[in-house]
Structure 1
Amino acid sequence: MQASNPVRGGLMLDEAKPKIVSQWGAIDPNEGVSVVISLYNYARFIEECLESVAAQDFEQIQLIVVDDVSNRDNSLEVADTWMKRNMARFPSGILLQHIDNKGLAEARNTAFAAASCELVFVMDADNTILPSCLRKLRRAILSSNAAAAFSQLVIFGSTNTIGFADYWSERFLSEGPYIDAMALIRKKTWHQVGGYSHIPGGWEDYDFWCKLVEVKADVAYVPELLGKYRQHPESMLQTESARNYQKLHNLMSLRHPWTQLE
C-alpha cells in the first residue's frame, strides 16, 4: 500500500493564533472527552447541537467550539451566549474564532490542538448526538484499545433514513466514503496522520479515514444509532461534494492510490 500525498496541510497551522472568545475550567485528560465543534454560519443550528452535547449521560466533557469567521449570521454570538449560560454543565470549555476564514479542515485542526483530553469527539454545528453517544463510543475505544470509534447515524432534515456506516474495512473504504466525521478519535492518532487536510470541494473526512488505513490503525464500530446527521441544501453532502464528484475521485486516487474509486 502506498502512503498518501505527503503534502497533507494538516498540522501546519497558521501563525495567526485564533482569538479566545471565552475559556474556563480544567479537565482530567485521561478521564474526560473533548467535544470539538466546527462552526460557520450555522446560528440557526448551533444551539440544538450544543444542547445535544449537554444532554449526554457522560459528565466529564470539555466543550470546544471553533468559529471559522462566520460572516452571514451571528453564529459566534449565539454560541458564546449559550456556552456562558451553560458553563456549569462542563468542567472545561473554550470558544475560539479564527482571525481569517480557514475552511473546515483547519477549523477541526484548531479544535484538536486546543483539546486537553486524549479522546476527542468530532462534530459539525448542524448535527446532533444522542444521549449515550460519548459514553458508548468511549467504552468501545477503551475496551478495544482502538485509535478511533464511530457509530451508525440517523440522517434527518430534507430526508429521514438510516445512514450507511458499517464495520471498519479497508475494502469498504477503498470504494468510497461510508463513515461520517462524527467519531471519537485519539488525539495522538490525529497527530500521527498529520491532522485534517484541506480538500478542494470536500471529502476532508474521507481523506482522514484513508490516512488511518495507511497507518494501520484499528477502528471500532458501534452498531447503534448514536448520532444524527442533518441533510439540508447547504450541507457538504448536498453541495460541493456532489458538484465535484469526479474531481474528488481523481484527487483521492492520487492521494491514496490503493483506493478503487470509479
Structure 2
Amino acid sequence: MASDVSKGTAPPLVSVLIPAFNHERFVRRCLDSVLEDPYPAKELIIIDDGSTDRTGARIADWVATHCMDIPIEYVQRENRGVAATLNELAARANGEFLRPGASDDYLLPGGLEAQVRYLQAHPGKGAVIGDSIVVDRDGKKLHDSGMCDLHGADKKLYRSDDGIRRAVIRQWAIGGPVALIRNSALDTVDRWSEGLRIEDWDLFLRLAARDALGFIDVSVCAYRMHDTNLSRTRHAETRVGNLIESRHIALRRASLFDEPYRTLLRAQSHYIDAKISFLQRRPGPLLLHVAAYLSLVVASKTRLPPAPRGVEGI
C-alpha cells in the first residue's frame, strides 16, 4: 500500500475513467492495472460504449470478480463516441482528480501517486501529463518513451509554460492516456468536445492556453500499438479526415492564445493543410501551404507575448 501523498491527511480520491470499445483482447489487462497500482484512494468507472465484440461480457466478468476490491461503477449502453463517453464518465466521478484511461492501454504502478503529488504541489495547474512506454498487441515493450521514440519530442520544452504551449501547438507528442486532471479544471474548459475524434488535443490546447498544464518525466501508462489505433491508421481517407479535424481545432482555438502562440497555431493549420495536400497528391496547394507555414513561423518570432502582470513593458 502506498503512503499518503499528503502528510497527516488521507490521500485525495482519484477516479479512474475507462471508456471501452471493442477491446475484448485487451480490456482485462487494462482493468487489472487499476488494481495493481498501489495508490490507495481510487474508484473505477467504466462505460462500454456499444461494443460489438465480447468487451462488455469480459468487463462484466471482471467486475463480478473484483467488486469487493475497489469501488466500481459499470455502465453498458449504445455507442456515442469517445468524447461523449468521457464526459459521462467525468459526470459520474466522485474524485478530486480524474485519470482517463483507454481500454487497450494500461496503467503503470506508481503513476497515480506521482501525478497526485505534482498537482498537490502545483495548485494552479489543472492537469499534469506524464510519459508512456510503448508495447505491442502482446504486451512486449517496443519503446521506453512514447513521447521521444514515437513522436521525437524534446522533453526539455515541457519544463516551462512557454515550452508546453509551443509543444502542444506544434508537436502533439502524447502517446497514450497519460493525464491526471483536476476535476474542477473541467468546469473552466468545458470538458471534452463531443463529436471530435481528436478530442485530447482540443482539451489540452484549452488547458495550455490557461497555463494550466504541467508535466512530470515519469512513465505512467503503457500505450499499446495495434492495428486499430486511430492515431496510427494508414488508411489515407481516414488520415485526411483526422487532419481536417485537427486543422479545424487549430483555427477554432487560436483565439484563446496571446501572441506569439496565436500565430503559431495559424502556422500549424497550414502545416496540417500541407499534409492533407500531400496525401491528396496536390503539389500546388502543398507548396502554398508550406510557404504560408514558414512565413507564419518567422512572423511569430517578432510577435512577443505581453509583459507579465506587474511588470511594465518597455
Aligned residue number for residue 198 of structure 2: 203
Aligned partner of residue 244 in structure 1, secondary structure: helix
Aligned residue number for residue 213 of structure 1: 208
Aligned residue number for residue 44 of structure 1: 25
Unpaired runs of 5+ residues, structure 1, are: 1-28
1:238 aligns with 2:221: no
Instruction: Tell me the amino acid that sits aligned with residue 115 of structure 2.
Output: L
1:130 aligns with 2:108: yes
Shift of 1:217: 3.8
When normalised by structure 1's length, the TM-score is 0.81
Q: In structure 2, what is the Cα distance between the partners aligned to 1:249 and 1:35?
A: 27
Q: Tell me, yes or no, if the aligned pair for 1:210 and 1:256 is still in contact at 8 Å.
A: yes
Aligned partner of residue 198 in structure 1, secondary structure: coil
From 146, 150, 172, the equivalent of 1:163 is: 146
Shift of 1:155: 1.5
Instruction: Tell me the amino acid that sits aligned with residue 187 of structure 2.
Output: H
More helix by share: 2
Q: Tell me, yes or no, if the aligned pair for 2:49 and 2:79 is still in contact at 8 Å.
A: yes
Instruction: Tell me the amino acid that sits aligned with residue 134 of structure 2.
Output: I
Q: How many residues align?
A: 230
Pair 1:192–1:52, CA change in 2 (3 A): same
Aligned partner of residue 48 in structure 1, secondary structure: helix
Shift of 1:126: 0.3
1:150 aligns with 2:144: no
Aligned partner of residue 117 in structure 1, secondary structure: coil
From 234, 251, 256, the equivalent of 1:254 is: 251
RCO comparison, higher one (Cα < 8 Å, 6+): 1
Q: Tell me, yes or no, if the aligned pair for 1:30 and 1:117 is still in contact at 8 Å.
A: no
Shift of 1:163: 1.1
Instruction: Tell me the amino acid that sits aligned with residue 201 of structure 2.
Output: Y
Q: Tell me, yes or no, if the aligned pair for 1:30 and 1:118 is still in contact at 8 Å.
A: no
Instruction: Return the index of the structure with the highest Cα Rg.
Output: 2
Aligned residue number for residue 311 of structure 2: none
Shift of 1:224: 1.5
1:106 aligns with 2:84: yes
Q: In structure 2, what is the Cα distance between the partners aligned to 1:32 and 1:43?
A: 28
Shift of 1:30: 7.0
Aligned partner of residue 189 in structure 1, secondary structure: helix
Instruction: Tell me the amino acid that sits aligned with residue 227 of structure 1.
Output: C
Range 108-117 or range 166-175, more displaced: 166-175
- 5 Å-filtered alignment, 1:188-199, equals 188-199=184-195
CA deviations on 1:104-138 (whole Å, 9 max, x unpaired) are 10111110000001101011100011111111111
Shift of 1:250: 2.1
CA deviations on 1:194-244 (whole Å, 9 max, x unpaired) are 1101354x2110001011123x14222110222111111101212276343
Q: Tell me, yes or no, if the aligned pair for 1:173 and 1:210 is still in contact at 8 Å.
A: yes
Pair 1:245–1:41, CA change in 2 (3 A): closer
- Which 4+ runs in 1 deviate beyond 3 A? 240-243
Range 145-154 or range 191-200, more displaced: 191-200
Instruction: Tell me the amino acid that sits aligned with residue 127 of structure 2.
Output: A
Aligned residue number for residue 13 of structure 1: none
Q: In structure 2, what is the Cα distance between the partners aligned to 1:243 and 1:192?
A: 31
When normalised by structure 2's length, the TM-score is 0.68
Q: Tell me, yes or no, if the aligned pair for 1:148 and 1:220 is still in contact at 8 Å.
A: yes
**Percent identity of equivalent pairs:** 23
Q: In structure 1, what is the Cα distance between the partners aligned to 2:178 and 2:193?
A: 17
From 179, 201, 209, the equivalent of 1:183 is: 179
Aligned partner of residue 181 in structure 1, secondary structure: coil
From 52, 61, 65, the equivalent of 1:81 is: 61
Q: In structure 2, what is the Cα distance between the partners aligned to 1:246 and 1:31?
A: 38
Unpaired runs of 5+ residues, structure 2, are: 1-9, 148-152, 255-261, 272-314
